[in-house]
């Protein structure tokens, strides 16, 4: 199938796959104490796109905390805002992240790409 419906379907499938990786996700603008809850982001080992209506300037440093669903590993990282789409979200690069956190994220992403027998 091609056309707009196929694209929506592919986007929905991708969103569901990404949503299944996180629980308890928060960001904190460095130097402040307010935790901002997050919707599940589109992420990789190097960074993520976070849906938020909040504005952050490019270069802003954020503290990110989230728990991976499969391993239950809680990731604490510093991230720098690389791109901001006002009213939509921010693209961040993980600039300070432990080797264990990177490994856990990599394994989470790898394990999610393995098709389930129930997905047919």
Mean pLDDT across the chain: 75
| Structure tokens given for 87 | 């009213």
pTM as predicted: 0.65
**28 found inside a domain:** yes
In tens, the pLDDT along 82-97 reads 999 998 999 999 999 9
Rg of the chain's alpha carbons, rounded to an integer? 15
Give, for 74, the enclosing helix (H) or strand (E): strand 74-85
User: Per DSSP, what are the bridge partners of residue 38?
Assistant: none
| Structure tokens given for 68 | 């991976």
Number of domains comprising the chain: 1
**15 found inside a domain:** no
CATH of the domain at 46: 2.40.10.220
pLDDT at 115: 47
What proportion of the chain, given as a percentage, has pLDDT over 90? Answer: 28
């Amino acid at each position: 199938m091609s056309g707009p419906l196929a694209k929506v379907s592919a986007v929905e499938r991708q969103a569901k796959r990404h949503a299944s990786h996180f629980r308890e996700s928060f960001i904190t603008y460095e130097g402040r104490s307010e935790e901002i809850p997050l919707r599940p982001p589109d992420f990789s080992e190097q960074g993520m796109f976070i849906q938020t209506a909040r504005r952050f300037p490019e270069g802003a440093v954020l503290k990110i905390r989230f728990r991976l669903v499969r391993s239950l590993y809680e990731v604490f990282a510093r991230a720098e805002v690389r791109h901001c789409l006002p009213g939509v979200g921010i693209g961040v690069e993980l600039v300070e992240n432990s080797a264990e956190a990177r490994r856990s994220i990599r394994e989470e992403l790898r394990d999610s790409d393995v098709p389930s027998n129930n997905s047919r």
